[in-house]
Amino acid sequence: MTSVVSESIDGIRDVLSRAGESIVIGGKPGPSASGELIDTHDPATGEAIASIAAGGAADVDRAVSAATRALGSWQDLSAAARARILYDIAALIEDHAEELATLETLDNGKPLTESMFLDVGIAAEIWRYYAGWCTKIGGQTLPVSPPVGTSFAYTRREPLGVVGLIVPWNFPLLIASWKLAPALAAGNTVVLKPSELTSLSALRLVELVNEAGIPPGVVNLVTGYGHEAGQAMIEHSGIAKISFTGSTATGQRIVTASAASLKKLTLELGGKSANIVFPDADLAGAAEGALTGIFLNQGQVCCAGSRLFVHRSVHDEMLAVLESAARDIQLGHGLADGTEMGPLISPVQRDRVEGYLRSGTEQGATLVCGGQRPHGDLAAGNFLTPAVFSEVRDDMRIAREEIFGPVLSVFAFDDEAEVLRRANDSEFGLAAGLWTGDVKRAHRVAHQLQAGTVWINQYNMLDPAAPFGGYKASGYGRDLGEESLLGFTQTKSVWVSLD
């Protein structure tokens, strides 16, 4: 291991040593009821870096009880007092940015600069954005129609109660923040379950949330496996809503399991996003956007632009640029200087991606570059070199299924109507991108793409104010923006007699 990596680990050794007590209930950390642990690994080396508590049904039950008891202490605070705590959490995240980013990179593998500026940087802004909302959640006065002067009605936006937040491993701190902050701003209390693969930044975040002075029990953390801790949450009758980000298969399981207690759900699931380059686009900008669109976070991004449609007149030129840029991407440990792309999250995920690489070639696509396990220093990690396929048909598995890895499929198209039809021919509808110099075409196409987010002449832009979520099998409900906040409330109509 390089010295930069071991020095960084020294800086966070304390957090790693507390990982076995990662069940935080009523403000107090502790082990799981079963005493079982889960090893968490550095995906760049395969080494175990810490062991987290493997929570189960008993821990979830205790967490829900603590969250239920804490409802009063949170909702009795004035909106301004709640806002101040959320602002303080944002400031604490920034004060601990380096520590949080190092934890994230070590646990997830992504390059440190990405962890710093994207994960930690945007997470702090999200807390600040929702802190501002605490004092702005209002209702409406309603134009009801009984005889004038006899009745008056208005609405109140009230919290749901205890909400369960289930978070994946690709942006652990960021997604935990974008679910926690609006849930808390709306007055709910929370049970948070991070992925069993990446729980360390959530543990540190919950410590900082408690340090900011949130009443004990408002935010509870249960680490553990999905089929144990996660399943216990979706079956628990004391949880009013589940907000989930993860695979479509687990999302479907959540819909079924939560039916008995009629939980409200927000589901942000998989994607197979189309990114379209028209011939009048700034091709250099489009190529750069296509590369970050697919290779950011090793391609483990739900809105990754994994299907790149390029107009036939510029297809070969674009493919050559993409191939050369992909070959130049520097793989390495996320903590090492110069690393542009890290490893995949786990050996299982790498196997899954390699399965897609094989299927692409077997079904007749051309692997232009990448898709190899590197040798030497990186051989022990879950690395794969960035891959580009051409000659891909729309009916191939690599064109239809979410790969969730650094694999780009490039398609040629001839006209706008054709590319719109092909872009929309997907069970998913999370995001899409388009590149053109024609403003009319830009909006015309954006309006017809079946996706929850469309980027014009950019890709992967994210902001606390912009709702994020999917059409079709990419889920329902929205994270971020006012819409996420409202999703953590329920509306009450209040009627008043004036007679």
3-class SS string, 117-149: HHHHHHHHHHHHHHHHHHHHCCCCEECCCCCCC
The answer to whether residues 388 and 370 touch, using CB atoms and an 8 Å cutoff, is: yes
* 172 belongs to the binding site for ligand TXE (CB under 6 A): no
DSSP letter assigned to residue 377: G
Interacting residues with ligand TXE between 43 and 62 (CB under 6 A): none
List the x/- string, 180-219, binding to ligand TXE by CB under 6 A: -------------x-xx-----------------------
Interface stretch with ligand TXE, choices 126-134, 243-251, 391-399, 486-494 (CB under 6 A): 243-251
Distance in Å, CB of 230 to ligand TXE, minimum: 2
Of 159, 246, 464, 481, the one binding ligand TXE by CB under 6 A: 246
Please give the structure tokens belonging to residue 217.
């029990």
Distance in Å, CB of 122 to ligand TXE, minimum: 15
Nearest C-alpha neighbor of 103 from the set 202, 238, 221: 202
Interacting residues with ligand TXE between 269 and 328 (CB under 6 A): 269-270, 302
* 245 belongs to the binding site for ligand TXE (CB under 6 A): yes
Interatomic CA distance for residues 470 and 268, integer angstroms = 7
Of 383, 404, 468, 476, the one binding ligand TXE by CB under 6 A: 404
Q: Give the nearest residue (CB) to ligand TXE.
A: 226
Interatomic CA distance for residues 470 and 114, integer angstroms = 24
The answer to whether residues 62 and 217 touch, using CB atoms and an 8 Å cutoff, is: no
Cα–Cα distances in Å, from 46 out to 279, 413, 491? 44, 42, 49
Interacting residues with ligand TXE between 128 and 167 (CB under 6 A): 166-167
User: Between helices 79-95 and 97-108, what is the axis angle to 10°?
Assistant: 70
Interface stretch with ligand TXE, choices 118-126, 245-253, 309-317, 442-450 (CB under 6 A): 245-253
**Run of H or E including 412:** strand 407-413
Q: Which is nearer to ligand TXE, 38 or 388 (CB)?
A: 38
* 226 belongs to the binding site for ligand TXE (CB under 6 A): yes
Interatomic CA distance for residues 328 and 475, integer angstroms = 35
Please give the structure tokens belonging to residue 84.
């101040």
* 173 belongs to the binding site for ligand TXE (CB under 6 A): no
List of residues contacting ligand TXE (CB under 6 A): 166-170, 193, 195-196, 226-227, 230-231, 234, 245-247, 250, 253, 268-270, 302, 352, 402, 404
